[in-house]
Structures are given as C-alpha cells and as structure tokens.
C-alpha cells in the first residue's frame, strides 16, 4: 500500500513540475516556446488566455494533491512505526542485526580478554607465592 502511495506521489510531483514550467512568466516561458511561440499552438489548443487559466487551475489542483499526499504518506509511515513499536511486525533491518551481532562479538572478546588477564594475574601471584614459600623452606632447612 505504501509503495502505491509513493508511486502516486512521484507522478504528482512530476506533473506539478511540468505544469509550473509550462506557465508563462514575463517571457513566454516553456508554454510559448514548446507550443510554437507567441500564441501559436497554445492559442489554438487553449484559446487566447485559456492556457494560463488552465495551467493555473492545474497547478492549484496538483499542489493540493501534493500536500494531501505528503500528509497521507507521513500518517502511513507513523502508523507503521507505532505498529513496529508494539512488536506486531518485525522491522529490524539487516544493518541493525549485523551491528548487534558485531557488538555482541566484541563484548564476548572483551570478556575473554578480561578472564585471560585475570587468570594470568592469578597464575603469576600463585607462582610468586609458591616461590616465596619454597625459598623460605629452603632457608629453614639450610639453617638447621
């Protein structure tokens, strides 16, 4: 449904751009040059002032359609986000899942490094304590 609204929005945008460009300004604009200059083809199709009033009305209609469509698209997208927040439909992206997986791997690696560091520290302390006890026993035995 959202895709259909976006396609309709693109069509309205292109039509609005074309209608605005076709309107004549101080010079003839594209309406005059596209349809044969001063009053040539545009005068035959729309009448003397018909092109200006038709393009003016078309601009107004397309502008209103554009604004209403923008509001509808915003409403639809907000509704989708609220549904996602309640957990009804999964909207997690591949990038989010990948980033979460990398974060979990980094945390696991950090925990392993801390555990290895703690084990190495306790091994060094054990070696020091054993070495001190052995030296003390050696001194005691040699002293007797």
Matching residue, tokens 């549904």: 83
Q: Is the pLDDT of residue 116 over 90?
A: no
Domain ranges for the chain, please list them.
2-91, 93-144
Q: Is 58 left (phi over 0), alpha (psi -120 to 50) or beta?
A: alpha
Angstrom distance (rounded) from CA 90 to CA 99: 17
Tokens of residue 36, six digits? 């044969």
Rounded to the nearest 5°, which phi and psi values hold at 47? 95, 180
Task: Give the mean pLDDT of 41-56.
Answer: 64
pLDDT at residue 86, as a whole number: 59
Q: Give the model's confidence band at 114: pLDDT under 50 very low, under 70 low, under 90 confident, else very high.
A: confident
49-59 tens-digit pLDDT: 566 688 889 99
What helix, strand, coil percent values describe the chain, rounded to 5? 85, 0, 15
């Amino acid at each position: 449904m959202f895709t259909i609204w976006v396609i309709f929005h693109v069509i309205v945008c292109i039509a609005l751009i074309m209608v605005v460009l076709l309107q004549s300004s101080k010079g003839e604009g594209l309406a005059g040059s596209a349809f044969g200059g001063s009053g040539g083809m545009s005068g035959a199709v729309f009448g003397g002032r018909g092109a200006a009033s038709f393009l003016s009305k078309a601009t107004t209609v397309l502008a209103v359609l554009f604004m209403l469509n923008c509001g509808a698209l915003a409403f639809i997208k907000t509704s989708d986000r609220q549904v996602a927040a309640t957990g009804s439909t999964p909207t997690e992206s591949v990038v989010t899942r990948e980033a979460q997986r990398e974060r979990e791997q980094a945390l696991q690696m950090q925990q392993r490094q801390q555990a290895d560091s703690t084990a190495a520290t306790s091994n060094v302390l054990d070696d020091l304590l054993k070495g001190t006890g052995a030296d003390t026993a050696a001194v005691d035995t040699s002293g007797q």
